[in-house]
Structure 1
Amino acid sequence: MKKILIVDDELSVCTLLTRFLSKNGYHAQSSTSGAEALRMLKNESYDIMLCDYHLQDITGKELFEKIQPLYPGIIVIFITGYADVRVAVDLIKNGAYHYLSKPLYPDEILKIIHNAIEDGNTPASARNSAEVKTLENGAGTLPAASEDGYVIGESEASRHLFEHVNLVALTDYSVILHGETGTGKEALAHLIHQKSNRRNGPFIAIDCGSLSKELAASELFGHEKGAFTGALHTKEGAFEQAEGGTIFLDEIGNLSYEVQVYLLRALQEKSVRKVGGVKTIKVDIRIIVASNENLYESVLNKTFREDLYHRLNEFTLKVPALRDREADLPLFVNTFLATASKELNKPIAGISSPVWELLLAYKWPGNIRELKNVIRRACLLTPEGKEISQKALPLELLNSKNMSQFAPQHNPDNGMDELSENGSSLKSAAIQGEQKRIMEVLQQVKFNKTKAAEILNIDRKTLYNKLRSMQQPSKK
């Protein structure tokens, strides 16, 4: 049994890699510091070392330089939270076997370890100069974080979901995606399209929640010139635009009953008629719809047509909430961290242990979308080359042990106690009370923002603005 030493200052990464490699037949141990790793190497012999480049007490390069003359037979594979091509080339040229960017993917890790065992400790520069040239040209520095743009999770819930995705994608079935807001339903619909026989056709996405009753039919089916006031030109609808491909209707439960009738007719007859038109236009499309409500309950409540529901419900996929796939959280975090670092052209050293604890404790009511926004915001607020600290997190995460409470807590990092601000306590209390009420209502309706807005007696736009303001860093 080959022995592997994992060196990473993020305990969660060490834990996940140790468990994963142990399950796959390796004797894996871990260390969270360079000094500890040196002690372990002194006391025990290891075949492979997976080493994070940015450690708390030493850089991966410095550790590599220390162990090279002492343990020349060990195979060293570097991992890091962001890709630096120059560092990668330098390490490989100086004897490292390989260089990987986080997020790490199981198949990729196993393949590289398997190849490393077969090749010995011969670095890529000696095995194949083309591999180094690939790095120098900037290709492959960030491994694909997804399949066709969708992050593939490793939890049981994710595996179950993608087994069904692979089954239904190759059919022409209509699909209902049911899941909470922010779970990635549109990205999943796009993945189904990319895996289907219609992949070369268009993918047209429509947010039904943003369509007014008057304009919904026009957006979906098009209109003729002069069909209504303001119709100055003939318009092609989404169904025509999606010809030969896939149309995705998000939040379909928001369509009016009248438009649902038109939609049912279009699906049954595989044809549409423009608003104000008399000509029937044949269409060849596949339809995928999504809702954060249970459409069958909507049928029982007489807000959604039963015949349309059965026409759409050839296959239903339940998209799990992020809290139900906790094992995927590190993968999502590292994927979004790598992407944000690249977008901002600003290397981030990783995530501090206290932040990891908060990320794991938080219930993520906004699911993957909320997580992505939190990581992008944190990257923006974190100085280059530094770890993400608690100061870069929004208020709700700092209070994640009781997420319905938005009262600010004293944060020693920010150097001030908000309770001591003159004249602000009353206003602050009012804001906190409003935010608490919003969260309570959202939880009651399972984060259906349309229902929440109705209960709160505000429109959806106002609710979105208030939620957005809750994500913003507090002003000093």
Structure 2
Amino acid sequence: MEEVFNPSVISPAKPVVLVVDDDEGIRDTLEAILTKDYTVIKAKDGRAALRLIDEKEVQVMLLDIRLPDINGLDVLKRVKERYDDIEVAMITAIKEIDTAVKAMKLGAYDYITKEFDYDEVVNLVRHIIEKQNLTKELIYLQSEMDQYVPHDFIMGKSLKMRQVYDVVQKIAKVPANVLITGETGTGKEVIARLIHRESNTPQGPFVAVNLASIPYDLLESTLFGHERGAFTGAYRRRHGKFELANGGTLFLDEISELKYDLQVKILRSIQEGEIERVGGNRPININVRIIAATNADLEQAVKKGTFREDLYYRLNVIPIKIPPLRERAVDIPELITFFLAKYSKRFNKKVTKVTNPALKVLFSYHWPGNVRELENLIERLVATIEGDTIGESHIPIDYYFPDNESSWDGLKGEDFLKKACDTFERNFILKALERVKWNRKEAAKNLGLPRSTFKYKLLKLNIYDFLHEKKEDGEEEEEDEE
């Protein structure tokens, strides 16, 4: 009688080992050896084994070379074609060692003979599981290294960022869901990674998903995985992001972009602690901390009916709001120092300093793209300038006209009009200078201004120091001749 697998025996905490052998004694012996640390399921022939791996989450298969229906090597080939994440160890008679070696060339991990002992079996399966875990760890370690940022840098010295850090320290080890809000580019993923590193499971995976960047028709299978044959092109089973994050943290960026039907599925996953793959019909237990992030107002989305209220409250257990860079300008020098070091190393250069006039420009800028925009600017400057110092002349023109709303606060009547006129005039003159490669004489001529008037405007509008850094050939002599 064919053995029937009872799904109720599955323990989500234990890896699953499938024993395939037509000898009942060997099946039972291997089960007795492994059952303490693993969930063991059994099959007496190849067809039963192939059915089980389609239905169950198998990590390791112990496969007899000789089976009554299908040759063990053929079973091995089919397993590797369909589920390359399952490791297979062959069970062989001593006289069939050559066949076992052939199996290893086809993708088998190792083999044991039918005269196996307890320690041999235990060590073999343990090594396989360790290899699988190490493979997953290496994938995410590479991701972590690419994203690594020192803690001191992440926070900065501003009061608002120290307050964020205090919240992170208090809640990191509490396995509750977190909702991070803030403008684009403020560093929401950086904070999420910090929470993960400070949590009780820092060795677990950190899986980040930008929900806005994935086409809608792929999003469900990306998050929840799919079974073989679930849709056209699904040639093998795939694990989704929820499964890959099991035992760690799943970071869902741009959560406000999630369509309503997937909101329902994510809500159920959080409530039940389980998921179902696309095309699957059995629940898969998960233990994942959710950190969601958005630059949108989710409360307003709830009121409009575009975001589920119950999901909002499930995610917003611990809220963290990241301030925009314009509200923590005191952190700009520290951020610049970090980015200079980062990109000098990447581009094999030694750009280490920023002049005070250049810093003044960067302080006055509004930074609508926040830290990400600052990083992009420093990367560009390090890549393109010569020497070790970023000067005011290196800063692109657009950064000289701060769209800083706070600098206009409280201005009324003539004061408001004067500031508006000065801002426009400075912008206009700088554009005129740029067109003639910073030649003051040519710029004054093109603008129809006497050189004395033009020089006065350069001083009044704080353009003179900027031009001094340009040091265009002959310019200083021209001014001296005046």
Task: Sort the Cα spacing of 1:349 and 1:187 in 2 relative to 1 into closer, same or farther, 3 A.
Answer: closer
Q: Which residue does 1:256 correspond to in 2?
A: 259
Q: Deviations over 1:257-308 (max 9, x none)?
A: 0000000000000000001110110001100000001111110111100110
Q: Which of 148, 168, 181 pairs up with 2:184?
A: 181
Tell me which of 431, 437, 458 is aligned to 1:415: 437
> Residues 173 and 314 of structure 1 are in contact (CA less than 8 Å); yes or no, is this contact kept in structure 2?
yes
CA distance in structure 2 between the aligned counterparts of 1:322 and 1:238, rounded to whole angstroms: 31
List aligned pairs for 1:313-462, cutoff 5 A: 313-385=316-388, 387-400=389-402, 409-411=431-433, 415=437
Normalised to the residue count of structure 1, the TM-score between the two structures is 0.54
Query: 398-407 vs 229-238, which deviates more?
Result: 398-407
Task: Report the counterpart of residue 39 of structure 1 in structure 2.
Answer: none
The residue type paired with residue 354 of structure 1 is P
CA distance in 1, matches of 2:153, 2:276: 34
1:26-64 deviation per Cα after TM superposition (whole angstroms, max 9, x unaligned): xxxxxxxxxxxxxxxxxxxxxxxxxxxxxxxxxxxxxxx
1:98-109 aligned at under 5 Å gives the runs: none
Amino acid at match of 1:250: D
Q: CA deviation at 1:379?
A: 1.1
8 Å CA contact retained: 2:366, 2:404: no
Partner residue, 2:276: 273
Aligned positions of 1:188-267 closer than 5 A: 188-267=191-270
- Specify the code of the residue in structure 2 equivalent to 1:393: I
Q: CA deviation at 1:338?
A: 1.8
Structure 2 counterpart of 1:178, which letter?
T
**CA, structure 1 residues 361+237, in 2 after alignment: closer, same or farther (shift >3 Å)?**
same
Letter in 1 for 2:165: F
Q: What residue ranges of structure 1 are gaps of 5+ in the alignment?
A: 1-144, 422-476
Q: Partners of 2:436 and 2:249 in 1: how far apart? A: 49
1:189-232 C-alpha deviation (Å, 9 max, x unpaired): 00000000010000000000012222111010001112122222
Asked if structure 2 preserves the Cα contact closer than 8 Å seen for 1:201 and 1:244, the reply is yes
Q: 2:159 aligns with which of 153, 156, 160?
A: 156
Please name the residue that 1:310 is paired with: 313
Cα distance change of structure 1 residues 184 and 402 upon mapping to structure 2, 3 Å threshold: closer
Q: Cα–Cα, structure 1 residues 268 and 150, in superposed 2: closer, same or farther, change >3 Å?
A: farther
Cα distance change, pair 291–401 in 1 and its aligned pair in 2 (3 A): closer
Q: Partners in 1 of 2:214 and 2:342 — Cα distance?
A: 32
1:290-349 per-residue CA deviation (whole Å, 9 max, x = no partner) reads 000111111011110011001111100001100111111111111111222222221124
Contact 1:157 1:320 in 2 (8 A): yes
Q: Which residue of 1 aligns with 2:303?
A: 300
1:150–1:188 CA contact under 8 A, matched in 2: no
Q: Distance in 2 between matches of 1:267 and 1:401?
A: 42
**2:391 is matched by which residue type in structure 1?**
S
Deviations 1:85-118 (A, max 9, x none): xxxxxxxxxxxxxxxxxxxxxxxxxxxxxxxxxx
| Distance change (3 Å), C-alpha of 1:233 and 1:417 | farther
TM-score after normalising by structure 2: 0.54
Whole-Å Cα distance in 1 between the matches of residues 432 and 343 of structure 2? 29
Q: Superposed, which structure 2 residues align to 1:27-176 within 5 Å?
A: 147-148=150-151, 151-176=154-179
Counterpart residue identity of residue 197, structure 1: N
Partner Cα distance (2:263, 2:318) in 1: 19
The answer (yes or no) to whether the contact 2:325–2:370 under 8 Å persists in 1 is yes
1:284 matched to 2:297? The reply is no
User: What is the distance in 1 between the residues matched to 2:404 and 2:309?
Assistant: 40
- Using the TM superposition, give the Cα deviation of residue 146 of structure 1 relative to its aligned residue in structure 2, in angstroms: 5.2
Q: Partners of 2:435 and 2:355 in 1: how far apart?
A: 14
Count of aligned pairs between the two proteins:
275
Amino acid at match of 2:201: R
